[in-house]
Amino acid sequence: CSNSAKKPVLTLFTKKPCPLCDEAKEVLEPYKRRFILQEVDITLPENSAWNDKYKYDIPVFHLNGKFLMKHRVDIKKFEDQLKKLELQ
């Protein structure tokens, strides 16, 4: 279906271990068919810029490349942004 090509990309900036990230992924589980989850390990050398920016804030989420939320999943905000993208 042509819709799958239009799925928004949710980027999770994370590192291991990250209990808050695991918790966030559980909260997002019911929505997982509506977006593509892309995880970025900020401890990898190629991600050092993200590490500098977010090392004290993970988990951090970007939706389609734009900052969305950090620390905890804000379901209301996430749903609103997801709906907006789905309606485009």
For 3-15, what is the mean pLDDT?
Answer: 86
Distance CA 33, CA 4 (A): 9
DSSP tag of 58: -
Confidence (pLDDT) at 5: 62
Q: Is residue 4 part of a domain?
A: no
**Structural domain harbouring 82:** 9-87
Q: Tens digits of per-residue pLDDT, 20-69?
A: 999 999 999 999 999 999 999 999 999 999 999 999 999 999 999 999 99
Confidence (pLDDT) at 75: 96
Q: Is residue 3 part of a domain?
A: no
Q: Is residue 18 part of a domain?
A: yes
The total number of structural domains that make up the chain: 1
